[in-house]
Amino acid sequence: MQRIVDNALAVTKESVKTVTYESLNNIARCINGISALLLTLLPGKANILEGLHGWELRPTFRGPRLPRWMHNGVSSFNHFVHELSVDSDTSSSDYSSGEESDGALPASPSSQSSRLSWASASANPESHWTEWVTFLLWWLIFPLRILVWIPQYFLRLFYKRSSTRAPTSPRRNQRSPRPRVSKTMSSKDHDVPNRATDRRRGVIEDLHLAIEICIEAIFDFFHRATHVILSPSEAFAKMSAWFSSRGNSGKESRDDVLDDEPVQTATLGDADPSLSERPTRLYNSMNTDTRTCQDVITELGYPYEAIRVVTSDGYVLLLERIPRRDARKAVYLQHGILDSSMGWVSNGVVGSPAFAAYDQGYDVFLGNFRGLVSRDHVNKNISSKEYWRYSINEHGTEDIPAMIEKIHEIKTSELKLSEPNIDEEINQEEPYKLCAVCHSLGGAAILMYVITRKIKEKPHRLSRLILLSPAGFHEDSNLGFTIVEYIFLFVSPVLAHIVPAFYIPTRFFRMLLNKLARDFHNYPALGGLVQTLMSYVVGGDSSNWVGVLGTPHYNMNDMPAVSFGVAKHLAQIKHTGKFKMFDYGSRTANMEVYGSPEPLDLGESYEFIDVPVDLVAGKKDKVIRPSMVRKHYKVMRDAGVDVSFNEFEYAHLDFTFSHREELLTYVMSRLLLVEVTPSQQRQSSQKGMKLKKKKKEGTVV
């Protein structure tokens, strides 16, 4: 009888799996098909989609491609279900108790406070129809509640068993060896997941996994229940044996604790890997893709160094480096808005500016602006409102000066070690040549940096600027940007007290965005529809917006954000039609900051730029149009700046996230125009002569 029941349950389980799996696949195909129909009706899709590298509208629809190195990653539905419930409860309790939170948002529906409010709302007898609506909604979400609870229950059971069965080392009191960590590495670096066994999944694939887990759990319950009913004696014997084994194991563990020596308190510190290893591994397993810029660089075989930089106002920045310590030429790469250093390495060895510069013999530094959701600051108790209180001014007068001064400190100290006779050269001029390659907002910030440093009569230490579609002038834009500008400036006095910054507030929604980007890749018509709609929002720009959403710096743990002050500063620049520093809203406030009732007009101060500038515009760029980059060129030329201008058939993100061989060739050719001085050449030739003499002496001996 037991065998018949087992066979019936097995057949029923596989049938239910097949039906649910095919139903979900049909729903996904239906969504993809409807997206294809909508895509055929949208105007201008051909220019938007065919502008992507490798896109073909015929004979079939294809979605935007992710970078080649991103096709593998981590899938994490099981761990995520557990983390979602825990994270929702803790975030809601923090919010209700008045503690600090990133977005200061209300509790999620899965939290305890929300469940209480839900129950109280359903018990309210004021209106009969609201009770029926609540009742229907409760039964509609009941399968979802079961779907979340069952994997969570088995996960907790699994972790309890794994913790109780963990093997003990025979040498308990011996401290485990600690991994060697570079001093310049940040404490937030995580291990790289094993991509040979893990693969990043989308929402549809995780739903497949969730349904399979749910079905397995339900049928396993029925299998055990029928086994108990049909074979009660055997079930009773197993239960008694299980209880007796647990009692014996408890006695043995208590005896071991009494017999062992006391545990040293030194092994219980925060730096002990035994405490940090397990949470870190769990933290990685819950993420969709934990790769950082460091992971990409080291996986491709390049050297890497992370440098902690602290600004004068206390913000902690990450300056990353692909080091050539003896190089006399260095390049500083600075990203734009909602971006990070990942953009300069996202195309791998062949198509990334950072690797191209390193291969040409440059010491490469990758800058990161302030403005991550993690909010790294010397004041660990800084509030969200205080942290996000900055504009483009702080990018140009705090972030970039701190990073470039750190580069100067590192290069001079390293060159002193390799060349002891460099002191005389340092007194005369810089012993190295530093060029800056900046994109979008990074271009506006570097111009602000150079001008303000010259006004303050301080060295800026730069030899050349290469600006890729730089921000600064924005009056020539589409109607959508103009409407947003007026609405934003109108509501900004009220909005400033409510929204300190613009970002995805919770880890759940950041994870969901990253997984949806994978679904957009797996279902081409849906990806093409989202790509087209996002392009409409930014005025028809044909950049690979969907592919960029799937990059690892938009992950569950962290993401770059835009502060309210930066957004308002951009709106002010567009509204006035002038490249100005931030207007604080009153003559008194401006007097305190600038010493004048009006903020400094950077466009009228281009005569302070004393280094060559190369401006690059994209003909298909609808975010910063070529006419605005050309305005930079005209104002600089009239101010007597050594400036050049060039255009390519690029959209806004193609300068960093697309493999563009001609752009890399052009950038490298402009970098090569910066040569070492005769004194540097003379010193390097003397070093070469010394090496030759040593070799000759060695051969004679």
Q: Specify the pairing of strand 316-322 against strand 363-367.
A: antiparallel
**End-to-end distance of the chain based on CA atoms, in angstroms?**
93
* pLDDT number for residue 351: 85
Predicted confidence (pLDDT) per residue in 79-115, tens digit: 333 344 344 444 434 434 444 434 333 333 333 333 3
* pLDDT number for residue 336: 94
Mean pLDDT calculated for residue range 114-141:
48
Q: Give pairs for 89-94: CB < 8 Å, separation 24+.
A: 91/506
Alpha carbon distance 151, 171 (integer Å): 36
Q: What residues have CB less than 8 Å from 648, skipping those under 6 apart?
A: 616, 617, 618, 619, 654, 660, 662, 663, 666
Alpha carbon distance 31, 81 (integer Å): 25
Backbone angles phi, psi at 646, to 5 degrees: -145, 155
pLDDT category of residue 169 using cuts at 50, 70 and 90:
very low
* pLDDT number for residue 112: 36
For the chain, what percent of residues have pLDDT higher than 90? Answer: 37
Predicted confidence (pLDDT) per residue in 376-411, tens digit: 999 999 999 999 999 999 999 999 999 999 999 999
* pLDDT number for residue 419: 74
Distance of CA 194 to the CA centre of its chain: 19
pLDDT greater than 80 at residue 116: no
293-422+429-503+560-674: CATH topology is: Rossmann fold (3.40.50)
Alpha carbon distance 278, 662 (integer Å): 46
pLDDT greater than 80 at residue 613: yes
For residue 175, give the DSSP letter.
P
For the chain, what percent of residues have pLDDT higher than 70? Answer: 65
pLDDT greater than 80 at residue 694: no
Tell me the whole-structure pTM to 2 decimals: 0.71
Cα angle at 627 between 547 and 606, to 5 degrees?
105
Q: Which of 192, 210, 191, 214 has the alpha carbon at shortest distance from 201? A: 210
More confident residue, 137 or 143: 143
